[in-house]
Amino acid sequence: MDICATNWFQLEAYLKQDDRVILPLGSTEQHAWLSLCTDYILASRLAGEVGELARVAVYPGLPFGMAPYFCAYPGTINLQPDTYNRLLSDILTSLYTSGFRRIFLINGHGGNSPVQAQIHNWLNQHPDARVQLHNWWSAPHTLRLVRHYAQNASHASWMENFPWTRIPGVTPPAHEKPALDVARLSQLPASAVREYIGDGNYGGHYQRSDDDMQAIWQTARQETLQLLEHGWG
Ligand SMILES: [Zn+2]
């Protein structure tokens, strides 16, 4: 159930028979040859599809997250951890006040994951609520299929290249980029990150067949749906 196509009377009726809600978490940042909004697009699309299958309320996604290491690339929006923690807490509290008790966050961006600590703090204040932070791309079934296709797969590589994250008319490079040294990357300020990673792909080919990508998407959908239906603590 798309919140943007729902009025408050309808939501009030929904809340009498379900207390689940989905909120996609994205980021706007360099994704090499793919859309700057890749993480937002993927989390939002997955949320919309799974929400429709399960008839669960879906909020519009948060387009911005924490991406300090990409600040030297044009287009990146970077929220400070304090800002992001407070933003998410206010959203969780508002959802709780509305009557939601099981909140399912579909996260498209690894850099947002530290917000898990804040979620625990919020849960301590709202002990009857449940929150799942679901990193869809690194969930076991999805990641296993990704690694089955290729070990070398990471940020802005083929594993994020779906028909809906490509830029029309842009053809990415055909070669396989060697995997970056993430331990080295984590030591660098944004300007040196850009110098080191160049176009922004962390490693891997830039594109795979649509059949392979559809298979990954179907797996992610099933895995996400399963957690939304049965993954509550
Ligand atoms: Zn991404």
Q: What is the pLDDT of residues 18-73, one digit of tens each?
A: 999 999 999 999 999 999 999 999 999 999 999 999 999 999 999 999 999 999 99
Q: How far is CA 173 from CA 153, 158, 205, in A?
A: 15, 11, 8
Percentage of residues in the chain with pLDDT exceeding 90? 100
C-alpha 156 to ligand 1 mean position (Å): 6
The count of other CB atoms within 10 Å of the CB of residue 163 is 9
C-alpha 57 to ligand 1 mean position (Å): 24
pLDDT tens sequence across 194-220:
999 999 999 999 999 999 999 999 999
Amino acid at 22: I
Amino acid at 74: P
C-alpha 49 to ligand 1 mean position (Å): 19
Percentage of residues in the chain with pLDDT exceeding 70? 100
Helices (H), 74-197: 81-98, 116-125, 140-149, 182-185, 190-197
CATH class of 3-149+219-230: alpha beta
Residue 118 — φ and ψ, nearest 5°? -65, -35
C-alpha 201 to ligand 1 mean position (Å): 10
C-alpha 36 to ligand 1 mean position (Å): 9
Amino acid at 158: W
